[in-house]
Structure 1
């Protein structure tokens, strides 16, 4: 067995060169022997790769799809294979593309083909649901299929002899194309998303794969481009993002978007040594206005306040609505407190002007808290706390005024310092325990399928301390890595006890940001599994959406390495970050958890209902099962079931509790929540 594989490491090509063709000799040897396509979605667990697992692992190869290449007399000329660095199962389009590509490669290898075979090939390519474009070695177009014409509006006669640059929408940097050409001119395949335009000038998104065709001297003779229009998918994602990151009432950004923008401004201020201010505004007596004039009037008032904020502030300032009657403003690049106070006064004056709501004239006022960056802090949690404390000081001082944050008003800072020391002692004193909250299958019978491990702190003096208090402190101190490792071992240990008692159920463990980027993470997980004899297949690791947006290359590599251990992966708090659909498609997640903030207000909040149903549909298209968090009512459960959500957890089903208390659920299969 020999072949041309310019995209594979030389040592790998040398190792397989000359191997006898036969079943069990990798995907290509088996495909050549049987004459059938071989899909090795996971090389490490595929018997036909039994003798080559170490070699493929060294080469960073995790999956291989191999298609036999047939000659004009149906003899097998070789195989066409696609490798991935991660386990990957092809869809129908991938399989169709493989078959088409192998036929095109057969053309290049044989250079002769009977007329009947050419007609078959031409018909297959012409009827392909994907666009196919073939150029010569200079990039001059020689062929396009009907799908290309249908999507772009260009016929073959119109584009023959021209380059694909006629499709350039002018929205892509020249560096992007240079990088693409550098790759394919080296004889390698290129894959990516690109913004093109049709003959009429209509822009569209294309998922494009370009493969160079080499002759027997390894000289490029042609390029084959296979693409599909993904504009509809992109539009769906944009709609989801619009629903997830903007307030539909005021059209201002919401808390999630503002947090993303604040992180960017924090990095910019640190880089440029600039300062900015954070305003926290809360309407005074808004409940009274709602109760007396009605919710419609309250909504119009909120819209009016949003308009006055935009009208008073600069375009570069950021504004968001983060609650019912709460707004937040980021005043960027200010000279100092005097300028900030001047802007605050202008806002108070603008907002306090009368608003006509129907036949009633209302004078609204706000209490405004201000915190300065970096003087008062440099992260989201601290700044929001500071601004919130300052806003409450303004409330206490009679409302319709502003107050700057001062450290004297913050008793919590003192408590935090005390908590830091207590946290250090708590690990040594074994004050932590693990409670478990079941995740249930909800589409048919209610049955627990997983237990999520949640750490709890039994303080010797304060009793139960809320995780919301100590987890952020543990993160900041770096203790979360040690604490997280302890929780992992507890979950594996108690999971083993459940197996011994006859219960085979998944144990879910949350990974913090620091844990995920810990260089020893993989070793620690392997050690915990081995130490307690707990099967990797029953361990689920939950990773938050915000974590996967950090250091993208490291994240992708780490997730695939975790997957190779045999554990399942779940993306947690989905919808609270800003990940892209194209990025998520690259990641080997098994489950997607809809954040409880979307479920909480169902069915009252129609926007949250739309977001939740859209996220469930998107997850299913990506091949993921969905877990809904925070289910508290029968109405929420009914909505989730109607939309095909497979699993759920929340107080309606079971509260977090020690394992002994959770055991009562494991023998129960309920037909309804009333059982």
Structure 2
């Protein structure tokens, strides 16, 4: 289609050129001989020049260039041989920028007529209609006829004269009007089309493109002579006076438009010198047009054109190599426009002659530029469509295939490879601490960290054999699909090697990520399912891999393969979540209290509140089963709120429970990441008229609190209100010694894992004793959990542990039994 339009355009242009070259009787109308020329050294009248001027052909060439002097040309015609009949011939000039141009017609020594046709002169409306510079020369049959032409100006004084008889002059004038009409209408139509496409595509740099074509239109009006046809005489003269200022602005607009057009491929780069200081070059040129002569300005503009030519071609080639298809017509357009401008400048400098071909160079190159951009915009429109389809199939932050790709494109891909790979395995990786990152560092940083680790996994997958590639429209190679913000999948074509493949992925995930100068370890779960035996379609395959993924517990490892038993367990968990949601809503959960004892004298100093759940359908459910589910589903916030309300209400109703004892309440680490958590707890406490100094808040997984302002604000408010703070399960999970100080810890609870193994495990003894010594050094209360025998208790006493709890001392009991115990 593009080639047909281009050939049609060339055909029309060729026809116009052909019409423009038709001359009477097949003869050349141009005066190709050296015209007698006189150089004016002082002001002189036309009659004096005719009588006394020393005309010489030798200075004709001199008169065609830049000069501060005025020149006179003399055209002589013999008297006609036809008596009583005058004959008129017509002189035409297709060069329209001579500032002062005067014609004087003499019969003998008598002045018959004179005309002013200079670019800065008023023509006094002595033409019926404007159709260029035409001088009617009426020949006398009695005397010789002489036409004197005086010219003066700052631009080259080119005078390519042509002579026509009456018939051919009229035909030539009509052809000139047709030529102008063609140029104007072609420019307007193509420009209107491009402007429409520009607006439709919302292209950057629209104002620059429109401004550039207005400049081109003005330049063409001057070069081809139709400026007085469409502009007033005053405007036309202003354009001539500021011609190189207009050209300089046009060059600068071209420079700026190129930057905007190529912006999406980042050419030129924001750090390049030409991007930073390119505008200065044009500012310097514009200033020079006001300081130097037209000749100097013309020379500088020629240099500017060459500079633009190489810059635009270089940028265009670079963008094309980056895959920016639309730039091919950008190159086409700017190549023809700048070449046309350079060739037109060569005419200005007399390096190229003025003839019918060179006169058409700039108009044709301008139209080719517009035509080229029409195709460039069409290309860009297609590229937008390709990009739109690509965006629909890819994740914006990683450029990896997305969920849409998985369900819309992957089935076709699997069908094509099924005969060659009858057995595949879908591996699903879920980075499960995204919410922790989100709350600890903010969503922007969390997204960045997750995207970075996903990219690292993808790079590892690219290096692995036996992993399926997922082709995209941009022909990029991808081996990972990002289903959600934290969930990615890859497909193994060698299920028998899946264990080795997963181990390689785990090495990436187990490497700490630096977040705000903190080495952060990711929590993740990996599930896998076989295709087609464990899922004949992608929806079922995804579901089963997800079930396997959710079945992972950190104590059992990070990877689980799908089995039928897991499917049953998953259904059980869904039922568990449904029942838990309902029972929390109806406040059916309750609490027990496990007494805490001063190991030195065995006196009860308080108790730890432990949440319990008995469901009418499920029976008694272990906290180890439902609390992780509550944290995963977000129910933990309601659960904590309900537990605090129940404990404070019970304490208010039974003040004896807190007369000399304290209560410790467990909360989730996620609770402290809520901005108003402390305010809510303090408000509940005040509503029940209780003292905060009688309560200890126990938390776990404290590594997520580092450098988190929300957590520290909550802790500060709780301390200020009088609450004590304990770090629970110290020594396992994500507890950090740094947080003993940073969180102003009052108590440290040694995890029962170490306490229960004290008699059999020397390492547990060493760690437990060191934790107790650490508490003494930091003046923190040491609490041992899981005391199951007298031997363990005595060992803890020997190490000077202060408080203990466990089945050897007291089992968890109902609040009423706890009250009886205190009595």
Fold match (TM-score > 0.5) = no
TM-score by length of 2: 0.35
Query: Which structure has greater helix proportion?
Result: 2
Q: Answer 1 or 2: which has greater strand percent.
A: 1
